[in-house]
């Protein structure tokens, strides 16, 4: 078996993270063995030459002692340690406090990776974390109001008078008001977190605090990005301070990247992408990168990776810095995949599928380091393919993440999703959210993803809604978030009546249509108030807007729709509204949503004593999505329940099954489909009751054939 340990890949010339003498010796021996390098090696060497020049420039301006790097393991089941015994860190220990000192004059150049003084500020015990329930609000878990810890000296935390002034001037949604709103809420954070700010950023006269006052946009963006509800405020501030201290010349150009690193690499270890080493019985690679090195990698690699990192908002950059892939692996990926950046997720298929893992055989990767080159050489199952593709994408500056879910048959699978960027400049950008490995024939309608800031689970559909809303107008999205934090305060203080609240929410929705909080506030209002006819008409127009705004990713509509129509007392009218929603889901090709909506629609029709319409609607949806074994049985059960005791329904149901059954897939892969066999069995009693004995005999014979009898 050839040796594919990453330490045997040539890396001379790269600005290296300290790896110890044994690793250096191994690389030297590997280099001697390669007397006839192939084209791929020359490509790597070309990249090495460029990086060498960059490293030399940095070394000429600054030399510092090597840091230990982030010693945290990439996997909980394979903890790694430092290469030097004196640097071994107890995973249960707390990091020593850091004493900041002002940089010496002329000592502001960006140091190379191997010279980063990196105390273990992010050393956290990586214990298995039970996944939280999927989030139903902002997928980044932003709290509606900040926490209340660490108040140094009491003062009103929020400048309500300034908010009321903007409201009275009808200026809350003016783009020119965003800096004022940002300052109001950043000052609230500064008041509530005064102790943490002073402990981690220094006193008001410290170099960093002085610098932040010179660049207030950076300061305010940092304060508003940190969510006390999910972030460790102290650790996030500490990380930002260390980035600024170590790489002052990278600021303010890379301030958004620093913010992203800070809120991902606090002490929430569940936010960092983990490779499936346990499933593949592979070993965690040595020298995993931590917070500081993730930042340094993009700053130092701009000449190769490009400047797009400068211009992406921190909300997108979260998905580039949430991994520990070692430096040499990232460099390995550059010549191979930078030319394929537009469709980088397709490198999923570069990992050969290890079919042996479908049986009892050991994985081919067993006992080997779980590195990108080894994955490409030895392969794995879908989780390894998704892990490989997402980490390659992140390594070349493309925001990406793994997703997993169940298909129409209930089988689990993993795929990769990435943000395909177009025209990324300082003036803005456009993107599309792409996926690979989400095989269409198996219909994975919703995937589970991990939020890189909170570490909580969300869905890919909710994440897509969020990213689209941010990209549509990032300032409008952020401004709407602040306006929605101010909204309950203003509504309470000014005593807004129902009409005024409807008008205010309508303006906010028009300002940033994809923002979830304004829609949730409207839904909450609709579920608790009574309206006159004009107000009801206004709400109906809002529902029209909802269906237009979220037509391409309709999952969000289901979370608010029931509340939006709660004011309607007539079950027939309410049912018609749900019927429109059902049509939307069917047009979007989303049987998971269509079946839920159809079942609720049927309930309302039954409540309005329109049983036949309910049965007919359920039947139409079942026929439309006949192949969906996860959802159609629920529709069939409801049809049969509504038909009990109704002899007139028997011929209709027999005809319905005659139309439905030929559409069912008889096989799943090479095996008979249990869903198909069970549905044949359900239909036979209705054929017999309707004197359709020929149909009953036909499907009894089909069942016998499928079961091999």
Confidence at 443, pLDDT banded by 50, 70, 90:
low
Q: Could you say which DSSP state residue 158 is in? A: S
pTM: 0.77
Residue 57 to residues 54, 62, 670, Cα–Cα distance (Å):
5, 9, 61
Task: Dig out the tokens for 171 from the structure.
Answer: 């200026």
Mean predicted confidence (pLDDT) in 291-300 = 96
pLDDT at 70 > cutoff 70? no
pLDDT recorded at residue 156: 52
The answer to whether position 176 is within a domain reads no
pLDDT recorded at residue 410: 67
State pLDDT tens for residues 174-208.
999 999 999 999 999 999 999 999 999 999 999 99
Mean predicted confidence (pLDDT) in 38-63 = 42
The DSSP H or E segment spanning 431 is strand 428-436
Whether the CB-CB separation of 481 and 520 falls below 8 Å is answered with no
The answer to whether position 247 is within a domain reads yes
pLDDT recorded at residue 145: 34
φ/ψ region of 589 (left if φ > 0, alpha if ψ in -120 to 50, else beta) reads left
> Among all chains, which residue has been given the structure tokens 């709103």?
181
* Nearest residue to 438 via CA among 457, 460, 421: 460
State pLDDT tens for residues 527-565.
999 999 999 999 999 999 999 999 988 999 999 999 999
Confidence at 468, pLDDT banded by 50, 70, 90:
confident
Cα 419 to Cα 422: distance, rounded to the nearest angstrom? 10
Query: Please, what is the angle between helix 571-587 and helix 611-624, to 10°?
Result: 10
Task: Dig out the tokens for 422 from the structure.
Answer: 């177009």
Mean predicted confidence (pLDDT) in 78-97 = 32
- Give the 3-state secondary structure of residue 599: helix
pLDDT recorded at residue 430: 77
Of 265-274, 513-522, 571-580, minimum mean pLDDT range: 265-274
Confidence at 427, pLDDT banded by 50, 70, 90:
low
- Domain of 265? 6-85+96-124+144-150+193-455
Confidence at 80, pLDDT banded by 50, 70, 90:
very low
Beta bridge partners of 434: 418
Sorted by sequence, the CB contacts under 8 Å of residue 260 that are 6+ apart come out as 314, 317, 318, 320, 321
Cα 264 to Cα 210: distance, rounded to the nearest angstrom? 25
Cα 132 to Cα 144: distance, rounded to the nearest angstrom? 19
Burial category of 327 from C-beta neighbours within 10 Å (exposed 0-12, middle 13-18, buried 19 and up) = buried
The answer to whether position 374 is within a domain reads yes
Whether the CB-CB separation of 40 and 336 falls below 8 Å is answered with yes
When computed from its CA atoms, the radius of gyration of the chain, rounded to whole angstroms, is 29
Cα 620 to Cα 683: distance, rounded to the nearest angstrom? 16
Mean predicted confidence (pLDDT) in 457-474 = 88
Mean predicted confidence (pLDDT) in 659-669 = 90
Residue 184 to residues 192, 227, 585, Cα–Cα distance (Å):
13, 16, 41
Mean predicted confidence (pLDDT) in 153-168 = 78
The answer to whether position 135 is within a domain reads no
Q: What is the DSSP string of 220-255?
A: HHHHHH--TTTS-HHHHHHHHHHHHHH-GGGTTTTH
pLDDT recorded at residue 424: 66
The answer to whether position 75 is within a domain reads yes
Cα 370 to Cα 619: distance, rounded to the nearest angstrom? 50
Cα 555 to Cα 549: distance, rounded to the nearest angstrom? 12
Residue 424 phi, psi (nearest 5):
-85, 115
Residue 384 phi, psi (nearest 5):
-70, -35
The answer to whether position 561 is within a domain reads no
The DSSP H or E segment spanning 287 is none
pLDDT recorded at residue 270: 77
Burial category of 62 from C-beta neighbours within 10 Å (exposed 0-12, middle 13-18, buried 19 and up) = middle
The answer to whether position 224 is within a domain reads yes
- A 10 A CB-CB count for 528 gives 10
The answer to whether position 609 is within a domain reads no
> Among all chains, which residue has been given the structure tokens 């709400």?
539
Q: Could you say which DSSP state residue 357 is in? A: G
pLDDT recorded at residue 453: 93
Whether the CB-CB separation of 499 and 464 falls below 8 Å is answered with no
- Give the 3-state secondary structure of residue 434: strand
Cα 207 to Cα 584: distance, rounded to the nearest angstrom? 56
Percent of the chain beyond pLDDT 90? Answer: 64
pLDDT recorded at residue 441: 57
Please identify, among 433, 455, 477, the residue that sits at the C-terminal boundary of a domain.
Answer: 455
Of 148-157, 184-193, 333-342, 548-557, minimum mean pLDDT range: 148-157
State pLDDT tens for residues 394-409.
999 999 999 998 876 6
Cα 483 to Cα 476: distance, rounded to the nearest angstrom? 10
What's the CA dihedral at 34, 36, 40, 46 to 10 degrees? 90
Mean predicted confidence (pLDDT) in 514-528 = 96
The DSSP H or E segment spanning 173 is none
Confidence at 444, pLDDT banded by 50, 70, 90:
confident
Cα 140 to Cα 556: distance, rounded to the nearest angstrom? 15
State pLDDT tens for residues 3-36.
333 233 233 332 333 333 333 333 333 333 333 3
Residue 212 to residues 132, 236, 240, 251, 296, Cα–Cα distance (Å):
35, 16, 11, 10, 21
pLDDT recorded at residue 84: 30
pLDDT recorded at residue 696: 97
Beta bridge partners of 422: 430
The DSSP H or E segment spanning 165 is helix 160-168
Please identify, among 405, 440, 455, the residue that sits at the C-terminal boundary of a domain.
Answer: 455
Please identify, among 455, 489, 523, the residue that sits at the C-terminal boundary of a domain.
Answer: 455
pLDDT recorded at residue 408: 66
Mean predicted confidence (pLDDT) in 509-538 = 95
Cα 98 to Cα 101: distance, rounded to the nearest angstrom? 10
pLDDT recorded at residue 137: 41
Give per-residue burial for 143-167: e unless 16+ CB within 10 Å, then b: eeebeeebeeeeeebbbeeebeebb
User: How many structural domains is the chain composed of?
Assistant: 2
């Amino acid at each position: 078996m050839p040796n594919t340990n990453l330490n045997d890949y040539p890396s001379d010339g790269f600005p290296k993270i300290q790896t110890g003498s044994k690793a250096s010796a191994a690389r030297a021996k590997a280099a001697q063995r390669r007397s006839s390098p192939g084209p791929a090696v020359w490509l790597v060497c070309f990249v090495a030459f460029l990086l060498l020049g960059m490293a030399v420039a940095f070394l000429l301006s600054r030399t510092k002692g090597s840091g230990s790097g982030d010693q945290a393991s990439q996997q909980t089941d394979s903890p790694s340690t430092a290469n030097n015994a004196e640097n071994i860190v107890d995973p249960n220990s707390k990091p020593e406090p850091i004493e900041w000192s002002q940089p010496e004059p002329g000592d502001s150049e960006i140091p190379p990776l191997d010279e980063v003084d990196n105390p273990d500020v992010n050393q956290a015990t990586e214990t298995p974390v039970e996944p939280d329930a999927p989030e139903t609000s902002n997928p980044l878990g932003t709290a509606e109001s900040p926490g209340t810890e660490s108040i140094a000296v009491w003062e009103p935390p929020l400048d309500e008078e300034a908010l009321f002034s903007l409201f009275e001037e009808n200026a809350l949604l003016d783009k020119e008001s965003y800096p004022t709103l940002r300052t109001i809420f950043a000052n609230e954070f500064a008041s509530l977190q005064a102790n943490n700010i002073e402990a981690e950023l220094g006193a008001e006269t410290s170099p960093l605090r002085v610098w932040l006052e010179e660049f207030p946009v950076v300061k305010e963006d940092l304060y508003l990005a940190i969510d006390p509800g999910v972030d460790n405020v102290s650790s996030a501030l500490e990380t930002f301070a260390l980035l600024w201290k170590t790489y002052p010349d990278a600021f303010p150009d890379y301030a958004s990247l620093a913010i992203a690193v800070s809120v991902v690499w606090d002490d929430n270890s569940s936010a960092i992408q983990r490779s499936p080493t346990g499933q593949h019985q592979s070993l965690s690679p040595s020298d995993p990168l931590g917070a500081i090195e993730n930042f340094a990698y993009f700053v130092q690699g701009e000449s190769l990776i490009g400047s797009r990192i400068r211009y992406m908002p921190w909300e997108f950059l979260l998905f580039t810095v949430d991994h520990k892939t070692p430096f040499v692996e990232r460099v390995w990926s550059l010549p191979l995949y930078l030319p394929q950046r537009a469709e980088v997720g397709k490198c999923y298929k570069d990992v050969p599928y290890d079919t042996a893992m479908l049986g009892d055989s050991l994985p081919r990767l067993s006992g080997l380091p779980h590195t990108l080159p080894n994955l490409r050489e030895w392969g794995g199952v879908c989780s390894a393919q998704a892990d490989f593709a997402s980490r390659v994408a992140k390594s070349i500056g493309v925001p990406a993440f793994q997703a997993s879910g169940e298909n129409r048959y209930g089988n689990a699978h993993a795929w990769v999703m990435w943000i395909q960027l177009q025209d990324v400049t300082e003036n803005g950008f456009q993107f599309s959210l792409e996926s690979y490995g989400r095989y269409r024939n198996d219909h994975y309608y919703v995937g589970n993803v991990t939020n890189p800031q909170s570490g909580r689970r969300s869905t890919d559909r909710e994440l897509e809604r969020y990213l689209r809303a941010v990209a549509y107008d990032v300032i409008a999205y952020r401004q709407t978030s602040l306006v929605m934090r101010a909204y309950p305060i203003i509504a309470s203080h000014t005593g807004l009546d129902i009409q005024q609240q409807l008008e205010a929410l309508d303006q906010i929705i028009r300002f940033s249509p994809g923002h979830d909080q304004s829609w949730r506030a409207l839904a909450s209002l609709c579920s608790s108030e009574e309206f006159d006819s004009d107000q009801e008409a206004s709400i109906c127009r809002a529902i029209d807007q909802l269906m237009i705004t979220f037509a391409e990713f309709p999952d969000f509509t289901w979370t608010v729709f029931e509340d939006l129509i709660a004011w309607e007392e007539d079950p027939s009218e309410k049912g018609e509204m749900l019927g429109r929603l059902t049509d939307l889901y069917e047009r979007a090709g989303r049987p998971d949503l269509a079946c839920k909506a159809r079942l609720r629609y049927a309930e309302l029709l039954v409540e309005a004593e329109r049983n036949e319409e309910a049965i007919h609607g359920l039947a139409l949806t079942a026929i439309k999505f006949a192949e969906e074994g996860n959802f159609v049985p629920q529709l069939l059960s409801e049809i049969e329940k509504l038909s009990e005791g109704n002899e007139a329904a028997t011929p209709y149901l027999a005809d319905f099954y005659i139309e439905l059954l030929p559409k069912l897939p008889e096989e799943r892969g090479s095996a008979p489909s249990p869903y198909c066999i069970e549905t044949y069995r359900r239909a036979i009693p209705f054929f017999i009751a309707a004197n359709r004995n020929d149909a009953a005999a036909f499907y009894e014979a089909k069942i016998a054939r499928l079961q091999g009898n």
